[in-house]
């Protein structure tokens, strides 16, 4: 009887060990696959960025084409929102990776600092806040919308056949509109980087001014987001 008990205990321990080994192997393979995908995406993104670089002597048309073909960007922006009721200011970190990943992280004011609004396709996440989604929409409507995104401007510019650009005071000025909003993007001609965006609704009652204090174009890839997600998931295992 004692020998049987010892045998079953040994068998049980052996099965547990095999199960742990299988989990370790599966986890290792998952990490290896994700690592491979990450390396591929980094390589692809770097090659694309090299091809899309623009020189100091570029024409206005070349700069417009460069902006319209942005695949990703990361920016620290100062946003001023004027409505018929009040004026609010925010400092926001924006990230975009084509085709459908956008992330807004509020840095200031301190009352909502840390709030992160992340959109991946049709999926919307509100992180680092006790505020409900309805509260965000009601009290901070504009920071939860896409209108302030550079990629949204690009989409609107491409869709509107009457979009125009001009050069003035060493800036390339791109103008477009939707059914109820006028948008103007100012680009530094030497650096080929956005400087300011103005957004006005047709009623002229609401205005948004966006200053690009820091901006990096084509500096991100899906691998950056993927690698961060993998790190978070593994840290919780």
pLDDT tens digits, residue range 78-109?
A: 999 998 888 989 999 999 999 889 999 999 98
Euclidean distance between CA atoms 194 and 77, whole angstroms: 11
Token pair listed for 15: 């099965």
Euclidean distance between CA atoms 237 and 230, whole angstroms: 11
Sheet of 116-120, strand order: 123-127, 116-120, 101-108, 87-97, 72-82, 207-217, 193-201, 181-188, 171-177, 164-168
Report the share of the chain in percent with pLDDT over 90. 42
Contact 163, 174 (CB under 8 A): yes
89 SS3 class: strand
- Positive or negative, the CA dihedral 34, 36, 40, 45 is positive
Residue 128: the pLDDT is 72
State pLDDT tens for residues 149-184.
Answer: 999 999 999 999 999 999 999 999 999 998 889 999
Note the Cα 104 to chain centre separation in Å: 7
Note the Cα 46 to chain centre separation in Å: 18
Q: What is the pTM of this model?
A: 0.71
Euclidean distance between CA atoms 12 and 16, whole angstroms: 6
Token pair listed for 145: 């919308």
Lowest mean pLDDT among 14-18, 188-192, 219-223, 231-235: 231-235
Residue 84: the pLDDT is 83
Question: Could you tell me which residues come within 8 angstroms of residue 126 by beta carbon, excluding any fewer than 6 positions away?
Answer: 115, 116, 117, 118, 133, 136
Residue 9: the pLDDT is 52
């Amino acid at each position: 009887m004692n020998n049987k008990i010892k045998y079953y205990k040994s068998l049980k321990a052996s099965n547990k060990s095999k199960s742990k080994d299988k989990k370790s192997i599966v986890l290792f393979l998952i990490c290896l696959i994700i690592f491979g995908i990450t390396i591929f995406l980094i390589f692809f993104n770097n090659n694309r960025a090299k091809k899309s670089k623009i020189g100091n002597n570029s024409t206005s048309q070349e700069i417009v084409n460069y902006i319209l073909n942005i695949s990703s960007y990361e920016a620290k922006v100062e946003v001023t929102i004027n409505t018929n009721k009040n004026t609010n200011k925010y400092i926001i970190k924006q990230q975009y990776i084509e085709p459908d990943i956008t992330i807004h992280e509020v840095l200031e004011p301190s009352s909502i600092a840390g709030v992160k609004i992340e959109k991946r396709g049709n999926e919307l996440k509100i992180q680092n806040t006790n505020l409900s989604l309805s509260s965000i929409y009601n009290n901070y409507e504009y920071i939860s919308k896409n209108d302030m995104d550079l990629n949204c401007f690009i989409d609107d510019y491409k869709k509107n056949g009457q979009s125009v650009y001009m050069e003035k005071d060493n800036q390339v000025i791109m103008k477009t509109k939707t059914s109820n909003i006028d948008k103007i993007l100012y680009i530094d001609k030497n650096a080929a980087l956005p400087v300011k965006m103005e957004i006005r609704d047709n009623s002229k009652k609401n205005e948004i001014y966006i200053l690009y204090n820091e901006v990096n174009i084509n500096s991100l890839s899906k691998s950056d987001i993927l690698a961060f997600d993998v790190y978070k998931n593994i840290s919780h295992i």
